[in-house]
A and B are shown apart, each in its own frame.
Chain A
């Protein structure tokens, strides 16, 4: 027990104060060095369990001691005090033990606390490490998914198909034995091949680019050369102008004309182009000859180009104007009646307005005469008209009977059968006319020109006919082109009119001009003479008693020209009423005869008069003379004189009448009569000079 108390004291000293403990230590260094023990180390050696037993025991001892003291006190005796003293010493020892135990418990607590802290720190460090590692894992996982999700660019590349690859790629790229089983290697090889190919193509591309560059450069050089040529050519053109003029090759003019032609309305443009083309074609036909000034056909454009240009601008609401004026008209009819006529007049003028440009066509004949045609386009009526003028090389004396032959009004009449140019060919026009009170275009043709059908056709305008065509058109006019036919017709028309014009002059003086190349048609001696050649009106012709047949046959239309010829021999007078078709000389003049000799004889009562008519009318082809047959009319007249001679000379002589025959037979005839009709020998046989029957 004593050892226990000594043990208990020492730590108490050390612990109670540091500095005095040092002093104590230094003081008891020598004596207490070996015996030093620290309560800390003692704690490790002691068993807490026993300490607890000790604590319990001490506490019990104390309680007993206390209880003995109390007991002693309560009995109070003299010995009690000693005993109490003893007891009190024992209690103190127990208190000492308790104190020691308390310290130990404290140390132990502290130690435990330290240990716990230490362990906690350790756990914390481990926890941190764990966290780091987890984070690292997560990051790595992310990286892995990223890698897994990575899309390679090669997937977008369109590769050649497998078969093709193995077929075409060289073995050092394809490496069939390696790549066949390994899709990765295969893809790599295919990509390699692709790369190879692309490299090649790139090479090619580069080459092509350089080629292109080269060619571009060449083009540039050539362009430069050409542009440098332009001013030189211009200067050459400029210089050649006088030469062109000198040689009559108006290339430049033509060019200018084409410029102007662009402003022509479509029908006139068509006409212009066609006519120019035809003119050139004609010129080429005789290209063996040097180019001449007197081209057969020349085309020109007349009129103001500016006005034509102005027409192209959109008109300012003409439709509105019209309706406005209509309304106005209705309103003002009552108030302003006198001005209505003026308004209508304006409207008519507007309706009949011509396009400012017109096409001029000059058709020249070999003898120097020319036909000038001016083509107009009536914009609102959509028809074309033509005005004609004939000029001749030499001045003509105008015979009275030739009045209408060359007049602009009739010179082109019926160029094609029935085409008299007095009616509008566009059926729509009639309604337009009704609106403004025009009865027929006939009243305006002198001013506007004639709207012949062929003019519309030349301009490419096509209108339906009013009645179905029942006249037969000959193959000739069908097969030939319209322009050519028309031009030829125009030319023959002018020539035949001019020929007629000349012939009429001598016919009026009673001379039948027979050209030398037609002499063979007639005997040398012709006694009957033409004494009169006058023009007569259509009405007068129809009223003649011996022309009924012609009128009934529809051969005496009002477009024809009518003449009366009188042939005389002695007392015999032969009247001949002549219908001259505008289509002369392809359509022959028609003669109707009336002989005044021993009574009046016509085809009705005398077969021979009928035969004479037939001789000139039906057998006209042998009288045409040399082509183009302009001598037909004069030859027919001369033939008529011969026929009259034959008729009179072969007339049977009445034996019962005294005296000589009035007309002795001078003509040589094989027979006087022939056939049931007792026709006289009207046919003249040229070289022998006798007359026979047809």
Chain B
């Protein structure tokens, strides 16, 4: 630990500057002392009731500096899309601060990340690291069906480095067969169970692409395994999240798709969900459009369109609806994959579950979904969320795959405002923590990496913090009424809105909308309060009457 602290100290050229002026959206300008620590940029005004700035270095996406005379301006652009300005007098101080922030915010070494240093200031009621263990999820499955088993074939992560140690697979397939299948799937991602639809026993599976290559390699075990998930006489759908030409091109690199001749009981459908840099580009353009100050309607609409963000939302939701439709309406099982099976595949499988399974629309259920379908399923969070919309560096593996998923959930939430136990704030919170956090939950790229990093022992889980009454209260939707039905969102362009809560959060004041939310809460709270009062009076009255049978209310 001490060597690490040494390391930070070397990076901090000037730990402290007085008389720094801070400008940020919707808050008064503050003047105070700027301090740099190993993990935070802190501005303290030393006045008790002024807001202070505590910014995680890991939340900083990029910084820009310019000078007007000896007055330096540093623009700090954050991964949560906030932009703040610092005014520092003195060129040397300013340059020192800027280069320190730059160095501290681009530290690559995971073990130096803040979650390893963070000590919770709250009482952990329930350790989030143990809240969503696969074996517990499997118990629920066992109560519905005996067709699946939990395999330990990947317990040392050797078969599939991006899978968790425990996965649900068809009961009749032994681990030896799974090993063969794994060699035929990208990244060793053999088909595993993603979701069991209790209503009709249909299932959704996910995998990596089959490694058919240009000469149409086959794998009998793969075919058997996939077929084994079908009920007698039933057909299934393979949803390939790539456009057919993209899937064709993948063959040249050893990948490919299932030929219908080899999987006669399955119908393959191609959808075109964008990947990696295309999505990152889309995010950058969208945020740029939102920050455009030109005030021209034409420019805004054309930039919004050109960003393709809403197109991506529509495409992902459409594909998720398709998967859900196959399962619920057609009574067919579904296998979803793209190339690696760690991005668009997970968007589709997780959103389909939101649509189909009321359990996923509760606070805990949604956490469990994120845990199962994203964290355990091997979405490489650390790579995807290394940079956000303001990054100047060339994107490597960055992509707002998870943010798009959250956006899609928000769209469904907007259309079914009473069917979710959580509110928009919960989705925004997950976005923030996926990109920068004091908690270890989103560190690493897979279960294997998280195990190697000993996260459960060395860091605090986001869920430990969230699942406390005071936080839950803030994140709970007051309108929630459990809805056991499948909820079909509209994917018409008119129905899909720009997620203001994330993309315009720092551009326009949300005061009036917040007030409306409070008003809504107030209406509901007041109703509950009256209900309690009336009930207690009713009891009191009944008691009075029974105490004295002679008396009757007039």
A and B interact physically: no
